[in-house]
Structures are given as C-alpha cells and as structure tokens.
Amino acid sequence: MNRRYRKTIIAGNWKMNKTASETKQFAEELKVILPKAKWCDILVCVPAVNIPAAIRAFKEMRVTVGAENLFYEKSGAYTGEVSAEMLKDLGVKYVIVGHSERRQLFGETDITVNKKVHAALNAGLHPIICVGESLEQRELGVTMDLISLQVKSALAGVAPDKLRKCVIAYEPVWAIGTGRTATPEQAGEVCTFIRATIRHLYGARIARSVTIQYGGSMNPGNAAELLAQPDIDGGLIGGAALKPDQFVEIINAANQE
Ligand code: PGA
C-alpha cells in the first residue's frame, strides 16, 4: 500500500450470495463491529437485485455499494441485462468488470471488458477491472504476457483523466475460491508489473495514483502480509467478505504504515 499516492480499498464481492433480507442483517451486524476506519475505503459489491436494499442498509455507515457486472449498451432489447445508467441511478459508485467467473462462465472477453469499462466510465462509475492468469498459464510462464494483454485491452481508448477513476484487481484464477492464495511475493510481483504497464501507457504520475487490489482467497490470516506489498492497495474479497467479523478483520489488516 502507499496511502500517500492512492486509496486503499477493501471490497467485498458477494457473487451470487445473500438475499435482500440477509443483506440487511449483514449490515446490522457489521455496524456493531465496524471500526471508525479512516485508513481505507470500504466497498461491498452485491447482486444487482440487492442493490436498493444494500444502499438503504449501508446508508448511515461509511460503506459504499458496488455492482458485480453491467452491460455496455445504454438501453434496448437486451433481456436480463443492466446498464451503467441504471446502476448509477440507484446510487452505485463502483462496478466489477471482467471477473474471471464472468470470463469463464459467461463468455466475457477482453473486447467486452473494454466496452464495459467505457460504459462504466461514461456513466460516472468506477470500474474495478479484474485480470488474472489460470494455473496452466502460470505454469507455462506466460503470466506477465497475459496480464499485459488484459490490462492494455481493458484500458484501450481510456483517456488519462478517466484512468484515475479505474481500479485494477489482480485475481489469479487458481487462487479464487480455492483457499489457495498467491504468496505475498507472487501477488506483489504481478501488481508491480501492472503498475509498470500503466506507467508505460500513461506516465509515472498517473500510474502511482491507481489503486491495484489483490483478490483470491484473501482472508484474516493472510491479508496483512498481502497488503504490506508496496503495490497492493487493497483486496477484492469473496468468501471472507460474507462474514462481517472476517470482513472487519481484513479491514483492520489494512491499518498499517
Ligand atoms: P475469494 O474470491 O476471496 O472467495 O477467493 C475473490 C473474488 O473472486 O473476487
């Protein structure tokens, strides 16, 4: 982390978990134990149907509500999809784009990720752009090539002033939901590489202002070490973000110099 230059963001990615009433219950439990944290921003990305409930439930708390996906068209015949404007209108600030589950299960590509990044930015939302290699790709030694391609494709055509609104999340696919975390060194190495890629494209000043998160089995036991890496500015947390006490422990782990 480097709080001098950029925000630290601890974000939950709830995936397809919790009903609207469970969202309310989570918020009530969190409220009791949430530190008056000033050392990081706190974000909870919830299923689209739960966004209004989440906005209501987290209203009095310093917790921002995000979405897990969007579609890139403004409106039209796209049954089942949700636009950036619709999210914005509900009070959403952040939206996850290109999560590996969407890439693997729902046909998301680098091209659709790029379109979604533009749609989010045009609506005034902050995209959290997910990149990450599979185990096979890591073993083949092509991790950095792949990350470079994913970052460059996602950001194609994004102007420098808009880049400041983007968050990048490095999520090695082999670490997501598996309990197998990247070591702090492995995660730190790729996050440093992501910043170098952005530096190459946009220059040093902008690159150092971009928040880069790590995601993939982050939990109370490994968060502090991961967040101690100079280029890891937060976490995108699945499983451990579903339990208020574990989520708070990770928030507390971000309280370090
Ligand atoms: P996990 O999920 O923390 O359950 O591994 C992270 C993510 O998919 O964003």
Residue 2 CA to ligand 1 centre (angstroms): 23
Residue 204 CA to ligand 1 centre (angstroms): 30
Residue 77 CA to ligand 1 centre (angstroms): 32
The CATH number assigned to the domain with range 8-255 reads: 3.20.20.70
Q: How confident is the model at residue 202 (pLDDT cuts 50, 70, 90)?
A: very high
Residue-level pLDDT at 37: 72
Percent of the chain with pLDDT over 90: 94
Q: How confident is the model at residue 187 (pLDDT cuts 50, 70, 90)?
A: very high
Mean pLDDT of the chain: 97
For atom 1 of ligand 1, which residue has the closest CA?
238
For atom 2 of ligand 1, which residue has the closest CA?
238
Q: How confident is the model at residue 177 (pLDDT cuts 50, 70, 90)?
A: confident
- Measured from the CA of 217, which atom of ligand 1 is nearest? 5
Residue-level pLDDT at 239: 96
Q: What is the pLDDT of residues 230-241, one digit of tens each?
A: 999 999 999 999
Would you kindly state where each structural domain of the chain is located, as residue ranges?
8-255
Q: How confident is the model at residue 222 (pLDDT cuts 50, 70, 90)?
A: very high
On whether the CB atoms of residues 153 and 195 are closer than 8 A, the answer is no
Q: How confident is the model at residue 257 (pLDDT cuts 50, 70, 90)?
A: confident
Residue-level pLDDT at 178: 86
**CB-defined site of ligand 1, < 6 Å:** 13, 171, 176-177, 215-218, 236-240
Residue-level pLDDT at 32: 96
Active site members: 99, 171
